[in-house]
Chain A
């Protein structure tokens, strides 16, 4: 509880210091809306050309797209310390400072940065979700709403876990992070669309290795009343836990990596 309070206070302070440069904030937010809006246009274009993609209607696709945008950019907004700032924390030796304080390192890394510009991208995602839900005529129930939140929460943990791999590489001062980026950003781009449109190798990759399909697609399909992988209904509530499992695994490795942390000279 105490940790949550600390996080909120840090966020408040960071926002205040970022708002010292309002013009830059507005410009960058607009730029991001344009970028993410462009991605959404791509989905709309597909819908325009083909009425359906496999079993999915245009509304369905918008819903999948919205799920990914909201989850991914929420993570980038609040997990900025891990998703963007970490390499510079290591290089500048700022990580030393975190080790000097009686709090968890990951807690402090998360408290260190926020990226409010992502609010634009999240907004695009929300619009896409609303449109998708309307066009697919989703009948919302309490169960579906709960599943929706569960999916976003565990989805964020999965993405945070993926960025943690990058952090671990960074601690071991390995620079070739392209492999990880293929999973993280590749996963984001690919899994904006439902998993079952992809060939088998990609399906395996995003189900068993980086389980975007389990965390985002299975619940979304359940909400849209079109189960994939012919799974029973309750499975939709269990599958997202894969995101938490992935995160915990990476968190364990991260802690182990920290014992090898060698700091930088002064």
Chain B
């Protein structure tokens, strides 16, 4: 039995254009944000949700968290219809928007947490236990009495996460949680989410543009483009289809590299060469012997393709 069950979900927005001269009514254009998407997510899964800007990711999250009402299709989360049984539904979910704060701006975050306790009607003993666990896990002890507005972006995100988990939700929606964070904060956040998912069994739907987040956390990915679901499966499967290119960097002590066959792309920077090639068309062994024949190699490194490039290639092929 799946925890989230979405069938043929559709949502469109009407945009009013600026009124043209001589026309009484403004023209309307309809944008289909979601076109009959279906998927299901089991309890305890950690699913990555990716797609270019405007693909409909946030719209999906907003529908599943009860903010928006869809035009068609059905969705059930833990047996409830989010937009119809909103209050019961939101009691069981946590939502973090990377670019939108849910805590109070001018007051110490401790006070925000207490107000959230009252809003969610969390019993005092549970509240205390969860708060002390989250304070440790998210390292909030030193900033509890600081108003939100004085916190750094990384501290803010940790506070937001704490606020969204105080009522012990079984499902967590994260909309670009690592946006703008530095490397240390990002890694800490990933560790926390991984633990939350593995130890507590919290189901997580993670929306992000950061492919490293996805690679580090999610085994399953869904790709959305133009309101349609384009891929749903393991990240490795998705990548193997686009992971067709390898890069070799080579530095010569002496000698000049002769022109390579057309299937290889070569960029030269002084003594350094960067060769991008497809192993299917140009076997690696053959390329290496070509390189060795050209002169004395000082240094040679081989790299896998950058994950962002693969995603870009995928978006391009899918015409996004």
Residues of A within 8 A of B (CB): 2, 5-6, 9-10, 13, 16-18, 20, 93-94, 96-97, 99-103, 108, 259-263, 265-266
List which B237-263 residues lie within 8 A (CB) of chain A.
Answer: none
List which B86-135 residues lie within 8 A (CB) of chain A.
Answer: 86-88, 90-91, 93, 95, 97, 99-100, 102, 104-107, 111, 115, 118-121
How far is it, in angstroms, between the C-alpha of A10 and the C-alpha of B66 when the chains are bound?
A: 24
Residues from chain A with a CB closer than 8 A to the CB of B62 are 96, 263
Choice from A10, A97, A262, A266 contacting B115 with Cβ under 8 Å: A10
Residues from chain B with a CB closer than 8 A to the CB of A266 are 58, 97, 99-100, 175-176
Residues from chain B with a CB closer than 8 A to the CB of A263 are 62, 67-68
User: What's the count of A-B pairs with C-beta under 8 Å?
Assistant: 70
The answer to whether A93 and B118 touch (CB under 8 A), given A99-B86, A102-B88, is no
How far is it, in angstroms, between the C-alpha of A265 and the C-alpha of B106 when the chains are bound?
A: 25
A95 to chain B, nearest CB (A): 9
The answer to whether A9 and B115 touch (CB under 8 A), given A102-B90, A263-B62, A266-B175, is yes
Residues from chain A with a CB closer than 8 A to the CB of B65 are 99-100
- B207: nearest chain-A partner, CB-CB: A266
Q: For the complex, is B39 an interface residue (Cβ under 8 Å from A)?
A: no
Q: For the complex, is B231 an interface residue (Cβ under 8 Å from A)?
A: no
Residues from chain B with a CB closer than 8 A to the CB of A99 are 65-67, 86, 90
A85 to chain B, nearest CB (A): 13
- B147: nearest chain-A partner, CB-CB: A17
Residues from chain A with a CB closer than 8 A to the CB of B68 are 261-263
Contact A97 B100 (CB under 8 A): yes
B172 to chain A, nearest CB (A): 12
Residues from chain A with a CB closer than 8 A to the CB of B67 are 96, 99-100, 261, 263
Number of interface residues of B (CB under 8 A): 33
How far is it, in angstroms, between the C-alpha of A16 and the C-alpha of B112 when the chains are bound?
A: 13
A56 to chain B, nearest CB (A): 46
Residues of B within 8 A of A (CB): 13, 58, 62, 65-69, 83, 86-88, 90-91, 93, 95, 97, 99-100, 102, 104-107, 111, 115, 118-121, 147, 175-176
Residues from chain A with a CB closer than 8 A to the CB of B13 are 262
Contact B119 A101 (CB under 8 A): yes
Residues from chain A with a CB closer than 8 A to the CB of B69 are 259-260
- A6: nearest chain-B partner, CB-CB: B118
The answer to whether A13 and B104 touch (CB under 8 A), given A99-B86, A100-B90, A102-B88, is yes
Contact B118 A102 (CB under 8 A): no
How far is it, in angstroms, between the C-alpha of A263 and the C-alpha of B276 when the chains are bound?
A: 45
How far is it, in angstroms, between the C-alpha of A196 and the C-alpha of B245 when the chains are bound?
A: 86
Q: Provide 21 A-B residue pairs closer than 8 Å at the C-beta atoms, listed in order of the A residue.
A: A6-B115, A10-B115, A13-B111, A13-B115, A94-B100, A96-B100, A97-B100, A97-B102, A99-B66, A99-B67, A100-B93, A100-B95, A100-B102, A102-B90, A102-B91, A103-B119, A108-B119, A262-B13, A262-B68, A263-B67, A266-B97
